[in-house]
Amino acid sequence: MSNDLNRFQQNYRDKQIIFCEFEPGNEFFFIQSGQVKLIKINEGSENIIDVLSPGVFFGEMAVIESEPRSATAIALGDVRLLRFSRENFEGVLLQNPQLVLKLIKTFVDRIWSQRQRLRIFAYKSPSARIIACLLNLRRTSQNSRGESVTYVEFDPEEISKWVNFDVNECKSVLKNLTKNNFISLYEHTIYINDLSGLLRQLELYGHMDSNE
């Protein structure tokens, strides 16, 4: 990124609010260093929606659409941001097509993961949500014998965020799934052994949920 962008630099200290949900939004941001958490207040407490790291944009939705902020952004530790206003938004983008590309990719990424969330939250029980989560996040690759394996990167915190249940509950559901050999659990990877079995389970849960 070119040096002339430095005039947009702005520093925030730990826990400082960058913008608040419902506030009109006239500026958008790019994280140069540090982390930013996006939260919503629900029944008096902060619910984390996302934690953003350097190299990503945020706050652009309100600027592009002239709508109020849809979440609250708070500095997590000391943060250095580039802050752009609605007035220089188009100008900055027109002069920095690479930024446009980055912004489009940011959107594509966020929309994709929100859609996955939507698919997962459609189920109510922890087991169904976790199975839906595994199915949605699964990837395939080849092992050393050239067989294709289906897996999900295993990070209990991450999974708990995806399904919106606490970490211990997630772990106990995952352990149960290993008993029936649906999956194998390793330190950093979950292997899916029985894909069609999991799909059948999910279908069953789907029926149960809709009968509630």
Partner 1 sequence: MREQTKYNKNSVIYFAGELSDSIYYIEAGTVAIQEVGTQVSEKKKLLGKGEFFGLFSAIGNYPRQENAISQSDLMLTIFDVKEFESLVINNSSMSLKLLQKLSQELRQVHKKTQKLLDVNVSVSPLQGLYTYGKAYFEKKEYDKATYVLNTFLKYYPLDERVADVKRMLESIK
Contact residues for partner 1, defined by CB under 8 A: 15-17, 20-24, 40-42, 44-45, 60-61, 64-65, 67-68, 70, 72, 74, 90, 93-94, 97-98, 100-101, 103-105, 107-112, 114-115, 117-119, 121-123, 164, 206, 209
Give the C-alpha separation, 79 to 77, whole Å. 6
Shortest CB 100 distance to partner 1, Å = 5
Kindly tell me which of 31 and 39 has the beta carbon lying closer to partner 1. Answer: 39
Shortest CB 187 distance to partner 1, Å = 25
CA atoms within 13 A on the CB side of 69: 22
Give the C-alpha separation, 118 to 50, whole Å. 15
Shortest CB 209 distance to partner 1, Å = 8
Kindly tell me which of 4 and 181 has the beta carbon lying closer to partner 1. Answer: 4
Shortest CB 76 distance to partner 1, Å = 13
Kindly tell me which of 34 and 129 has the beta carbon lying closer to partner 1. Answer: 129
Kindly tell me which of 72 and 201 has the beta carbon lying closer to partner 1. Answer: 72
The DSSP result for the chain, as a single string, is --GGGGGGEEEE-TT-EEE-TTSB--EEEEEEEEEEEEEEEETTEEEEEEEE-TT-EESHHHHHHT-B-SSEEEEEEEEEEEEEEHHHHHHHHHH-HHHHHHHHHHHHHHHHHHHHHHHHHT--SHHHHHHHHHHHH-EEEE-TTS-EEEEEE--HHHHHHHHTS-HHHHHHHHHHHHHTTSEEE-SSEEEES-HHHHHHHHHHHHHHHHH-
Shortest CB 15 distance to partner 1, Å = 7
Shortest CB 179 distance to partner 1, Å = 25
Kindly tell me which of 136 and 178 has the beta carbon lying closer to partner 1. Answer: 136
Kindly tell me which of 164 and 180 has the beta carbon lying closer to partner 1. Answer: 164
